């Protein structure tokens, strides 16, 4: 009985990790796009005061670009991993 509960708990943890692995890159993409939009608005209308200081803007732009491409890479890797798993499971049967 205890072994079954431990296995069930392990499976739930793995499922949660897989869900986080899929959700976090998408959250990163959404946040980086929001920051990019704020950056563009700030370029056209500085009076809005979204961002102050050229150093902050430079670091923010680097952060936006890095997080966006990292997230896109992770989404692509997750997709390819699923594709490989499906291909491998279809070959076994």
Write down the pLDDT at residue 17. Answer: 74
Mean confidence (pLDDT) of the chain: 78
- How far apart are the C-alpha atoms of 30 and 75, rounded to whole Å? 13
Write down the pLDDT at residue 50. Answer: 67
pLDDT of 61-71, one tens digit each? Answer: 888 888 888 88
Q: What dihedral do alpha carbons 63, 69, 70, 73 form, nearest 10°?
A: 180
Task: Please check the confidence at residue 92 and state whether its pLDDT lies above 70.
Answer: no
pTM (whole model) above 0.85: no
Q: What angle do CA 67, 68, 74 make, to 5 degrees?
A: 85
Write down the pLDDT at residue 4. Answer: 58
């Amino acid at each position: 009985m205890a072994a079954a509960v431990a296995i069930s708990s392990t499976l739930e943890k793995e499922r949660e990790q897989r869900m986080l692995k899929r959700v976090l890159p998408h959250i990163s993409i959404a946040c980086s796009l929001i920051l990019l939009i704020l950056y563009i608005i700030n370029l056209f209308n500085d009076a809005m005061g979204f961002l102050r200081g050229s150093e902050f803007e430079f670091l923010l732009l680097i952060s936006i670009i890095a997080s966006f491409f990292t997230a896109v890479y992770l989404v692509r890797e997750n997709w390819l991993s699923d594709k490989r798993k499906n291909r491998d499971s279809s070959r076994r049967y």
